[in-house]
Structure 1
Amino acid sequence: MAAARGAVDRGRRAAPGVARVARAAVLSLLTALAGLSAGTPARADLSDDAARVARMWSLSGARVARLPPVFLEHGRTRVVAIDPPSVGEGGEGGARGATADECLTAAFLAARTAEFTLLPEGSPGDLTALEGLVHRLRGAEPEDDRRVLSAAGVAAITRCGAAREELRRVAIDVLSTRGAFDVVVAASSGPLERVEAILPERASGPVAPRGDPGRPSEPGPLDARVARAARRARADGAPRVASTDMRASSIGTGQFSVKLSEGCHRLDLMAEVPSAPLRRATDLDAEAREESTGRLLERDRSDAPDARLDFCLGEPGVVEVPFLGAAGPVKVVLSDAQWPMSAFVPGHFGARARGNLAAALRRRHAPAPRAQAIAEAVGAQGDTLVPVQVEPGRCYFAAAALVRGELRALRLSVELGDRAGRDDAGENGESAGVAFCSEIEESAALRVSARGGSPVWVVAVWPMD
């Protein structure tokens, strides 16, 4: 027993030493981890990048100032007034005064994914004199060779001597969705280090020259293309295909005026290819408009040799189809494939709404409704919630269509339990449609978002077998 107690006492006396060793090991590990953490550079944000540029330019002897941040949306042009940093301004840079051959640099920094252009204004004057500059940025005049395109979210302009007056005002035009900009201005005795050298993570490689794709492919004989278009339409279920033709003008333009029945139509425009060895390429562009109202129904400006127009009419009418791109005074054929409209597409909202509802069904390849709509609603601009009672185990198709007004955007969303679907009207589109099925749900939430010039829309929901 005495020997055992002695062994226990020796173990207790040794325990404090073991604990001290363990604590020292843990402390060493924590210190090493802290050192690794301190040695890892933090991810810099936009303000940090601008501060780094300003600091490096200041160390080279330049007078540097940072302007207030600029926030811009796509399609908005902002003109920024650039004042050269004076002595002591901005708290960065040397203390000497300006000289006649001094250089002025303005650097604009945004997120690396932002795309924008800079355009300096060369004539002095009040800011109200920039209306012409903004007009040029909107594309009304040819491209200005003074425009600077950003790369990796950075664009900078340097002007020396008398040319510094060009940087008194700089216009920013955002090409991407939106962006926040930090602006760094520096006055120096000569050109400064490039921003890409200070921020190597923003440096971009050389831009490859645009390749030559060669001549467009030849579409082939006209009769064979007309036959293919008819076979393709019948394979899609068109019960009737009719065609008409005319001769294009000497410059390859013309216009069809055709009377069409109610329903959905696919117009294929195909031009004859001349046999002459030297000829213009065949690339038809066309659009369809209602003769009575001038409303655009569909437009095709693709690079394909033939043009294709898909639209639906809520009532019979005359449609004008102007075209261009034929290879001279050649034969042009318009092939009209027709699909009838279901009697269950409501017409009490007007012909325009009826045609747009049918277009939503056609675009989503939904079967023709075989029963009356279980729900209908009318709305205007903004976001509108439309609750709909549904039957568990059944499928439905919801369509939103413009009744009158003008649209910039139309979105239809359907929420059913934890599931959701949505559709947006495309460019020049006036309808959207979503198919959905109920499992155990007894109600669905339809959300219609419409933006434009006083739009009025209708939504209809049909049961689908």
Structure 2
Amino acid sequence: MAAARGLVERGRRAAAGAARGAALALLTALAGLSAAAPARADLSDDAARVARMWSLSGARVARLSPLFIEHGRVRVVAVDPPPAGAAGAAGPKAEECLTVVFLASRTVEFTLEPDSFAGEPSALEGLVHRLRGQDPEDERRIHSVAGAAAILRCGAAREGLRRVAVEVLSTRGAFDVVVAASSGPPERLEAILPERVSGPIAPRGDPGRPADPGPLDARVARAARRARADGASRVAPVEMRASSVGTGQFSVKLSEGCHRLDLMAEVPGVAVRRATDLDAEAREVGTGRLLGRDRSDAPDTRLDFCLGEPGVVEVPFLGAAGPVKVVLSDAQWPMPSHVPGYFGARARGNLAFALQRRRAPAPRAQAIVEAVGAQGDTLVPVQVEPGRCYFAAAALVRGEMRALRISVELGDRAARDDAGEHSEGAGVAFCSEIEESAAVRVSARGGSPVWVLSVWPMD
């Protein structure tokens, strides 16, 4: 009897062990299936897919080293055609096409701009662009869509892809770069990566009435606190009453230096009233030169500019809700030291505005390089000290400016700045690591523009 019970107990333990073994085998199999399952596609997978599909179509494909670029830093990437392959293979043909694609995360926005010496517009094309108010460089710039952008050049035009400038508009971005040489245009990027194709754009909705900006006195005080927090040395308010249709004009005498004019209008207390949406501009009396303009959809308006000498400025406005009180708050910053005045008051003010716009500290030493240029592209070599930082500014002296750009290249790093709308000055800060020279390039477009360049050492 005891022997029978022992036999039954041993049978139960054997069955339990077998069940545990089967469960362990099942878990191991599931883990193996999970490990064998394809991982979620990432940036490298997308680049590999593009390279594989182009290779299957007969193209010679190469992947460049990954890039990481911060906002405000322009990286110039050298693009070499993929090698011909095995010995005896046919070399590149004159009519061959070269394609380069930059891939980033779908949330990254960036632009590509190839070299222009092979695709420079003709004089007639340039004239057509100018008559249309367009910048030929904007035509060459390619904007990304869902984190991807590609450039295709065939024949002699592919020489323009030897160097491509990448500028990140987002905070930062990591990039994979794929280059392909083919007898004709390769398969389109949209067909290979359909998940990156953007869908239809929804119609704009009605945002409703603008928000109430609040009491005028509180807004004036808030503007003064904001200006003092930004380093303004003095804030002076001036007030007047608008006309019955909500228009008017200030005429104020301003000192040399930088100014921020905040215009704010009183909001009537009645229930039914016109919306308050001030639009204004500032013009120099005597010359009529436009210093600033604000036509945004906001209750208040703001104008920023710098004057190289004291002068009278007229500020016409419209958009007040009837005959209400309007306040102009003038925040003032002193003229930065070591900004030269011998190029004229206009250039002095524009150089100061380039510093103010980039929130750069006032230079504490004289400029190490000064140059004067005119229409077109001008390259200025600058000797720098390793481990030191600098600020380069370009400003209009006379003429009419339609576009102004300053860029600096140090080794494989680059930075640039475009003068904003209604602005006549642009500036960029840069630091040397081990380099002893930098290449500063100024591009000016307009009606007989004359500009000045200053490069200051910064602490």
Q: What is the TM-score of this pair, normalised by structure 2? A: 0.57
Deviations 1:70-108 (A, max 9, x none): x9987989xxxxxxxxxxxxxxxxxxxxxxxxxxxxxxx
2:435 to 425, 441, 452: 441
Counterpart in the other structure of 1:415:
409
Q: In 2 relative to 1, CA 41–463 (structure 1 residues): closer, same or farther, beyond 3 Å?
A: closer
Aligned to 1:245: 239
Work out the CA distance in 2 between the residues paired with 1:358 and 1:209.
42
2:347 counterpart of 1:353: yes
- 1:381 correspondence with 2:375: yes
Tell me which residue corresponds to 1:284. 278
Name the SS of the counterpart of 1:234 in structure 2.
helix
**Which of 286, 293, 297 is the aligned partner of 1:299?**
293
Gaps of 5+ in 1: 1-36, 43-70, 78-112, 114-203
Q: Counterpart amino acid of 1:303?
A: D
Do the aligned partners of residues 350 and 246 (structure 1) sit closer, same or farther apart at CA in structure 2, a change above 3 Å counting? same
Distance in 2 between residues matched to 1:383 and 1:256, nearest whole Å: 39
Change in 2 beyond 3 A, CA 1:314/1:75: closer
Letter in 2 for 1:289: R
Counterparts of 1:159-174 in structure 2, within 5 Å, are none
Cα distance in 2 between the residues matched to 1:333 and 1:402: 31
Instruction: Give the root-mean-square deviation of aligned CA atoms.
Output: 3.1
Q: TM-score, normalised by structure 1?
A: 0.57
Matched residues, number: 281
Structure 2 residue aligned with 1:53: none
Query: What is the aligned partner in structure 2 of residue 235 from structure 1?
Result: 229
Counterpart amino acid of residue 290 in structure 1: E
Summarize the Cα distance change of 1:287–1:396 in structure 2 as closer, same or farther, 3 Å threshold.
same
Asked if 1:394 is matched to 2:388, the reply is: yes
Q: 1:416 to 1:325 in 2, by over 3 A?
A: same
**TM-aligned CA distance change 1:210 to 1:293, over 3 Å:** same
> Stretches of 4+ moved more than 6 A in 1?
71-77, 204-207
Q: From the superposition, tell whether residues 432 and 75 of structure 1 become closer, same or farther in structure 2 (CA, over 3 Å).
A: closer
The answer to whether residue 245 in structure 2 is matched with residue 217 in structure 1 is: no
Q: Partners in 2 of 1:76 and 1:314 — Cα distance?
A: 32
- CA deviation after TM superposition for structure 1 residue 440, in Å: 1.8
Q: CA deviation at 1:207?
A: 7.0
Equivalence for 2:400: 406
1:266 is aligned to 260
Aligned-residue offset at 1:205: 8.2
1:335 counterpart = 2:329: yes
**Which residue identity lines up with residue 215 of structure 1 in the other structure?**
R
C-alpha distance 435-208 of structure 1, shift in aligned 2 (>3 A): closer
- Is the partner of 1:391 in helix, strand or coil? coil
Q: Secondary structure at the match of 1:299?
A: strand
CA shift, 1:303, in A, is: 0.6
**Corresponding position: 1:323 with 2:317:** yes
Q: Find the partner of 1:226 among 217, 220, 223.
A: 220
The question of 1:368 aligning with 2:362 is answered: yes
- In the TM superposition, what is the alpha-carbon distance from 1:351 to its structure 2 partner? 0.3
Q: 2:219 is matched by which residue type in structure 1?
A: R
Name the CA distance, whole Å, in 2 between partners of 1:415 and 1:341. 29
Q: Distance in 2 between matches of 1:209 and 1:424?
A: 32
Q: In structure 2, give the amino acid aligned to 1:396.
A: Y
Structure 1 position 386, deviation (Å): 0.6
Per-residue Cα deviation, 1:293-351 (whole angstroms, up to 9, x for no partner): 00000100001100000000000000000000000000000000000012310000000
Query: What code does the residue aligned with 2:310 have?
Result: P
Aligned to 2:449: 455
Residues 335 and 463 of structure 1: is their aligned pair in 2 closer, same or farther, counting only changes over 3 Å?
same
Supply the distance in 1 between the matched residues of 2:203 and 2:347 (Cα, whole angstroms): 48
Counterpart amino acid of residue 334 in structure 1? L
Secondary structure of the corresponding residue to residue 282 of structure 1? coil
Residue equivalent to 1:256: 250
Secondary structure of the 1:257 match is strand
Partner of 2:419: 425
Deviates more, 1:408-417 or 1:279-288: 408-417
Give the deviation of 1:210 after TM superposition: 3.9
Structure 1 Cα separation of the partners of residues 355 and 208 of structure 2: 40
> C-alpha separation between the residues in 2 aligned to 1:422 and 1:208?
34
* Compared CA separation, residues 363 and 76, structure 1 to 2 (3 A): closer
CA drift at 1:443: 1.3
- For 1:139-165, what per-residue CA distance to the aligned partner results, in whole angstroms no more than 9, with x for missing partners? xxxxxxxxxxxxxxxxxxxxxxxxxxx
Matches of 1:239 and 1:225 in 2, distance apart?
19
**Alpha-carbon contact 2:337-2:362 (below 8 Å) kept:** no
Return the alpha-carbon distance in structure 1 between the equivalents of residues 305 and 381 of structure 2: 29
Percent identity for Structure 1 against Structure 2: 84
Partners of 1:444 and 1:292 in 2: CA distance: 40
Map 1:52-67 → 2, pairs under 5 A? none
Q: Specify which structure has the bigger relative contact order, considering alpha-carbon pairs within 8 angstroms and separated by 6 or more residues.
A: 2
Deviation of 1:232 (Å): 0.3
Give the CA deviation at 1:41: 11
**2 CA distance for matches of 1:311 and 1:240?**
15
In 2, Cα distance between equivalents of 1:456 and 1:251 = 41
CA offsets 1:26-62 (integer angstroms, 9 cap, x no match)? xxxxxxxxxxx9xx999xxxxxxxxxxxxxxxxxxxx
Query: What residue in structure 1 maps to residue 140 of structure 2?
Result: none
